Structure 1
């Protein structure tokens, strides 16, 4: 394994002006897809819990489709399927976008994680105690103000443990990006395996890199939960005072 890492550490870890490393590409795929999915999931979650069926039904169909089909199939549809359509090839902007495997991978990952995140946030909104909503109404808040100042902040805090699991699963899902010829960590490991035929060492390095990223994400979310969910701890769970 040391020999493989000594030979391929640059494609795995080192980025120069011409080419990004597999680690950088993986982190960029994760960060971009999570950011886009999060921004889209917040308003979609509000629409998902709406009593207006014209708002909730399209969101329900969207989440059902993207949670019910494999991410690998979604990536293939966007990367190879969309580019085969004539109206995509005739439009310069669409043709340039879907010709890039990197763009297709980010779009597929963002749509997929947005579907799961929407359901997570919608469940957190439904789980908000009724007293908090009634208190906001008693203060005379409008629906928009109530969502902005009471419902969404409380729901996002409560959804943090489930959302952390979604981020970790999204990190693991980025391994299918090699299908769109994206040079992520797994793509570098596959290239090393093809050149050396040392499968255990090549994929073992990739596994260690994914494990290190997962540990870092778990630690970051644990700190976030301790900070933003401290008010949900039982009163008896406070740290006992030290004896003199």
Structure 2
């Protein structure tokens, strides 16, 4: 094992962390925004709309993300109508193709995660909200979704970790994130063992931070936390000739 090459990799590969995090965060944000209405459609929508959402999640979750990325990056460029449209300005850039593929993939997984959470919300809670006069949108925004998100948080944490690791596929379309930088170093040093060990350690660090952040958020949103105990009051004895007691804090 060449320790010198590993030290070189430690100094070079972190330059790809910014692109990795950018792809991951933007994909998760776009996927989450798209998945929220889809999850409500899947859980409570009419059969036709729910079936359409199910078809989308079934196809995307059942096919490799690498295939989806290649279909967007290489496949859409083969369609003349796409090349002649205004969308070609975006789709010819590998960054936006990767972001689109990752966002659609994340949206499909997150839709099913939130759908299970929405279906796990007790029916009595929804009925109680309706009895208070809340409209359907208010109930969904103030009652149903917060409870469903808290239920779905552990599974969504796995999606975050999976997207961090899945962002390495961006290297296949010439993007120089962590894996792309590692492949570039390997092509010049012919030492994949040392370099990819360092790359794997960086991914392990990022996923560990994501896991800790998810666990912290779970504790913050947990309803099982015991409230802080208030200090007990000590009582003075009654004053002479008076039936009054006063507390001591």
TM-score (norm 1): 0.89
Measure, in 1, the Cα distance between the counterparts of 2:186 and 2:66: 22
Matched, 1:12 2:5: no
Gaps in structure 1 of 5+ consecutive residues: 14-20
User: Contact 2:10–2:198 (CA<8 Å) still a contact in 1?
Assistant: no
Match of 1:68 among 62, 77, 89: 62
- Unpaired stretches in structure 2, ≥5 consecutive residues: 230-249
CA distance in 2, matches of 1:139, 1:167: 36
For each residue in 1:39-68, what CA deviation from the matched residue of structure 2 results, as whole angstroms up to 9, or x when unmatched? 111111011112412321211111011011
1:155 aligns with 2:148: yes
Q: Structure 1 residues 112-121 or 45-54, which shifts more?
A: 45-54
**Aligned match for 2:46, one of 33, 52, 57:** 52
Q: Which has the larger radius of gyration?
A: 2
Tell me how far apart the structure 1 counterparts of residues 214 and 8 of structure 2 sit (CA, whole Å).
Answer: 34
More displaced, 217-226 or 48-57?
48-57
Over the aligned positions, Cα root-mean-square deviation in angstroms equals 1.9
Aligned position for 1:16? none
CA distance in 2, matches of 1:224, 1:2: 38
Q: Tell me how many residue pairs correspond in the alignment.
A: 229
1:123-138 mapped onto 2 (5 Å cutoff): 123-138=116-131
Shift of 1:8: 4.4
Q: Supply the distance in 2 between the matched residues of 1:191 and 1:108 (Cα, whole angstroms).
A: 23
2-structure distance, mates of 1:32, 1:2: 35
Deviations 1:82-136 (A, max 9, x none): 0111001111x21111111110001000000100000000000000112211110
Distance in structure 2 (CA, Å) of the matches to 1:45 and 1:140: 24
| Residues 89 and 95 in structure 1, CA contact (< 8 A), matched pair in contact too | yes
TM-score by length of 2: 0.87
Which of the pair is proportionally richer in helix? 1
Name 1:17's counterpart in structure 2: none
